[in-house]
Structure 1
Amino acid sequence: MSESENKDLLEALNSVKEVNVGDVVKGEVLAFDENKQVIVGIEGTGVEGVVPARELGVKADELEDKVSVGDMLDLVVISKIGSDKEGGSFLLSQRRLQARKVWDDIEKKFENGETITAPVTQVVKGGLVVDAGVRGFIPASMISDRYVEDLNQYKGQELKLQIVEIEPSENRLILSHKEAAKEEREAQRKEAMDKLTVGETVEGKVARLTNFGAFIDLGGVDGLVHVSEISYDHVNKPSDVLKVGQDVKVKVLDVDEEHGRISLSIKQTLPQPWDEVGEKIAEGDVLDGTVKRLTSFGAFVEVMPGVEGLVHISQISHKHIATPNEVLEPGQEVKVKVLSVDPAAHRLALSIKALQEKPAAEKSAPKKNNNNAKKVEIPEEETGFTLGDIIGDELKDQK
C-alpha cells in the first residue's frame, strides 16, 4: 500500500465519529429484522443501530407501512448493545428525540411565562391527564376556580394551560387550567351581559339554590331570582319549588355590569293573579283563605295564590277585640265573605264575622270623643286600601 493510500485510510478512520449514549444522530434505514425492528446505519460512524417499533411511535404490524428502506431518520442513542466497535450496535429512538424537543420547547415557554394548549386524554383519580407532546397532569384543585363535581366533562376538550412545574428528567409536567377558566368565564360573562336587555324574557337553567333565592345560568353568566320573585304564592325555601338543572323562563329586572349582577324574576313571566280576580271573585262570595299577616288594624288573608284581601279588625268578630292576634294567627285557615272587590286597585275587602252567627244581645259600645281617638297603624307597604278602609268603623264611633 502506497504512502498516499495509507494516509487516506488513516484519515477515513479518524473521520469516523464515536457514538455515545445521548447523542443525536442520523440513521439510514437498511432493513427490518424478525423482531419487527428497523436496522439503520448511523451516519458518519460505520456502525449500525436498531430502532424498535415502539421507539418509532408505531405499532409493530404497521412498521413497514410507516418506514421504508433508504429513509433517513433523526434519532437519539438510548444505549449500546455489543462490545466491539466494528460489530457493535446501538439502541436508538425517534420517539424520545421528539419528546426531548417537546420538553425543550415547554421549558422555554415556562421560562417566558407562556401558556400551552393540550387535549385531555384521560380522567384519573385526583385530576386530568393531557397530551402536550409529553404526558402532563392537571390536579383537580387546578382545573377551575370553582368546585367541579364531574371531571368527565373535560375529556376530549382542548384546554389552555399554565405550566406550574416541569422536570424532564422525571417526565414530570404539572399544569393548571384555573386562571384560564376564570378568564374564559369572565369573557363569557361579559358577552352574555352585553346581550341582556332589562324587561326581556329569556330562558335559563337553575344552577344552584340558596335560602335567599335561585341562581339561574343564562349561558355564560348567572343571574339571581330572589325568593320573593319566584312565585306570586309565598315561598319559604327556593328548594320547595325549584330543582337544580330545571329549565325556567325569567324576566330581566336589572343588569349591573359594574358589579356583575343580574336580577331576575320568574313570577313576572307568569299570569298576574289579580288579572283573574274579576272573573273568579265577586261581592258576596264565600271563600277559603289562609291568614298571612296580622297588623293592629286587621288581618291579610290569601284567597288565591298571590291575592290577599283585608279583613278589617271590625270584621273579624262580633265580640270586641283589641288586636287581631287575640283570635287569629298566621297560617290559620279561615272562611271569609267578600264585601267588595276592585281588581284594578288590587283591593279585596273581606269579613269573617259576616259568616258567624250574631249574638242574641249586643251592648252598644259607648261613643268616644275625638280627644280619646285611638292610634291607627299605617302599613309601610302598598295594600290597595285607603286610610278610611283601614280605620273602618272607628270613624263612625267618633261621630
Structure 2
Amino acid sequence: MSEDMNQIEVGNFEVGDRVTGQVTKVEEKQVLVDIQNSKLDGIIPISELSSIHIEKASDAVAEGDSLDLEVLKVEEEALILSKRKVDAEKAWDELEQKFQGGEVFNAEVKDVVKGGLVVDLGVRGFVPASLVEAYFVEDFSDYKGKELSFKIVELDKEKNRLILSHRAVVEEEKGRKKQDLLETIQAGEVIEGTVQRITDFGAFVDIGGIDGLVHISQLSHEHVEKPGDVVEEGQKVNVKVLNVDRDNERISLSIKETLPGPWENIAERAPRGTVLNGTVRRLVSYGAFVEVFPGVEGLVHISQIAHKHIGTPHEVLQEGQEVEVKVLDVNEKEQRLSLSIKDLLERDVEENVDYELPEESKGFQLGELLGDKLKNIRNK
C-alpha cells in the first residue's frame, strides 16, 4: 500500500471507533487481525484481550475468530485495538439486567486468588471466599475450571466492581427445598437422613434441606448416656417422622422407631431353660425386674429369688447388681418374661436340718454319747 493510500486509510479511523476484525495470527503477547473493509493491520495487545489476567494470548482467542473491537490508538501502519473494552460494554448492560432481576446464571471459575475466586463475565467478577459456599472451605484450588451457579450481590460500573455469590444460590435452593419438605412431609414416614450435629440432648439429622431433632430418648431402645455413643456426624441413618410443626419449622424424628423392637424374636433368643446374664433394674415388693437384653426386662418373682424364705427382694438383691437367671417362661406377644435366680443356686444343706447338735457334740458320733450315758447308769 502506498504511503498516500495508507494516510487515507488511517484518516478513516478515530480513537473509540468500533470495528470488526478476524484473527490471522496469535502470538504470545499480542494478536494480529484483518480489519473488515480496510487494508490496515490491527494489533490487540494481550492486556486488551480479556478483563482478567491471562498468561498467553491463546488463552483468550484462536486463529479465525471474528471479534468486535474498539480502536485505542491510530498509528501510521496499524490500529491498536481492544477486545476487552467492547466485551465490557456489552457485559455491563447484561449484568445490570441480571442484577436487577436477581437472576441465577452459570459461569466458569477462571482463577483462584487470595481471598476468593475470579470469574470472567466480560468484566472481572470476584467471589469472596465467604460467598463461595455455605460452609467453610480451606482450600479453593479444586475450584479452578469448575462451573458454578452465581447471583450478583454488588454491581458498580463506575468503580468497575462486580461481586458474585454462589453461597446465595445454594441457600436459596435450600430454602425452597425446606419449604417444599415442610408442606409435604407427614408423621409416620420413614426416610434416610444424615447426622449433622450432636448435642447433649440429641442429634440433628438433615432429611433433605431441613434438620429434624432426634431426642436422646429416641436414639435407641437401650438407655443412652451420651448421643455421641450411638451416632456420629456425617452418619447416614433411617429416621421415622414423629411430629411436624410447620408454623415453627420443627420436625421431631426417631431412630429408635426404625430399629427392630427389643422384644422381637425374644422366644428364639431366650427359649425356656436358657441361662442368661442380666442386671437388676427395679426391685418391687413381689420380685425383681432384670434386664437380660437392651430394652428387655423379665420378672424374677420373689419366690424365685432364693431357696430360703425372704420378706422382700431387698434382703438379697440391689439395683444395678449383675445376676445369672434362668428363663422359666416367655411370651413375645404380651412381652412377658418369667425368670428364676433360685434354680441356678445350690440348696443350702442347713435348710434341711431340723435341729442342731449341742456345740460340745461336734466331732463325736451319737452312739458315743449314748454309750457314755449307759455306762453311767450301770455304774449307779
| TM-score (normalizing by structure 2) | 0.66
Could you tell me how far apart the structure 1 residues matched to 2:12 and 2:247 are? 69
Match of 2:191 in 1: 202
State yes or no: 1:76 paired with 2:65.
no
Residue 161 of structure 1: CA displacement? Answer: 1.2
> Which one has the largest radius of gyration?
2
Residue 324 of structure 1: CA displacement? Answer: 4.8
Confirm or deny: 8 A CA contact 2:154 2:163 kept in the other structure: yes
Confirm or deny: 8 A CA contact 1:54 1:60 kept in the other structure: no
Residue 127 of structure 1: CA displacement? Answer: 3.5
- Gap change, CA 1:265 and 1:285, over 3 Å in 2: same
Confirm or deny: 8 A CA contact 2:31 2:46 kept in the other structure: yes
- Gap change, CA 1:63 and 1:210, over 3 Å in 2: same
Confirm or deny: 8 A CA contact 1:28 1:43 kept in the other structure: no
Q: Deviations over 1:332-381 (max 9, x none)?
A: 4322344554433323344546645677479xxxxxxxxxxxxxxxxxxx
What is the identity, as a one-letter code, of the residue corresponding to 1:26? V
State yes or no: 1:19 paired with 2:14.
yes
The DSSP-based 3-state class of the residue aligned with 1:344 is: coil
Match of 2:32 in 1: 38
Could you tell me how far apart the structure 1 residues matched to 2:130 and 2:24 are? 50
* Mapping of residues 78-157 of structure 1, within 5 Å: 78=72, 80=73, 87=76, 89-107=78-96, 110=99, 112=100, 114-121=102-109, 122=111, 126-145=115-134, 147=136, 156-157=146-147
Match of 2:151 in 1: 161
Residue 185 of structure 1: CA displacement? Answer: 0.6
Confirm or deny: 8 A CA contact 2:279 2:291 kept in the other structure: yes
Residue 102 of structure 1: CA displacement? Answer: 1.3
Match of 2:323 in 1: 334
Could you tell me how far apart the structure 1 residues matched to 2:250 and 2:26 are? 69
- Gap change, CA 1:167 and 1:216, over 3 Å in 2: same
Could you tell me how far apart the structure 1 residues matched to 2:265 and 2:296 are? 10
Confirm or deny: 8 A CA contact 1:107 1:166 kept in the other structure: no
Could you tell me how far apart the structure 2 residues matched to 1:357 and 1:311 are? 17
Match of 1:303 in 2: 292
Match of 1:66 in 2: 65
Q: Deviations over 1:274-327 (max 9, x none)?
A: 132233335554320134466798754320122122456787676978895995
| TM-score (normalizing by structure 1) | 0.64
Aligned length: 334
Confirm or deny: 8 A CA contact 1:118 1:131 kept in the other structure: no
Match of 1:4 in 2: none
Match of 2:370 in 1: none
Could you tell me how far apart the structure 2 residues matched to 1:174 and 1:348 are? 69
- Gap change, CA 1:109 and 1:194, over 3 Å in 2: closer
Confirm or deny: 8 A CA contact 1:26 1:43 kept in the other structure: no
Percent of residue pairs identical: 44
What is the aligned counterpart of 2:43 among 46, 50, 59? 50
What is the identity, as a one-letter code, of the residue corresponding to 1:59? S
State yes or no: 1:234 paired with 2:234.
no
Which segments of 5 or more consecutive residues in structure 1 lack a partner in the other structure?
1-12, 68-72, 363-399
- Gap change, CA 1:55 and 1:285, over 3 Å in 2: same
Q: Deviations over 1:41-70 (max 9, x none)?
A: 6989x9865234774566299754224xxx
Q: Deviations over 1:200-226 (max 9, x none)?
A: 433333334333333333333333333
The DSSP-based 3-state class of the residue aligned with 1:274 is: coil
RMSD: 4.6
Residue 92 of structure 1: CA displacement? Answer: 1.0
- Gap change, CA 1:312 and 1:94, over 3 Å in 2: same
Confirm or deny: 8 A CA contact 1:103 1:168 kept in the other structure: no
The DSSP-based 3-state class of the residue aligned with 2:64 is: helix
The DSSP-based 3-state class of the residue aligned with 2:195 is: strand
Confirm or deny: 8 A CA contact 1:29 1:39 kept in the other structure: yes
- Gap change, CA 1:329 and 1:188, over 3 Å in 2: same
Which segments of 5 or more consecutive residues in structure 2 lack a partner in the other structure?
1-7, 51-56, 353-380
What is the identity, as a one-letter code, of the residue corresponding to 1:74? D
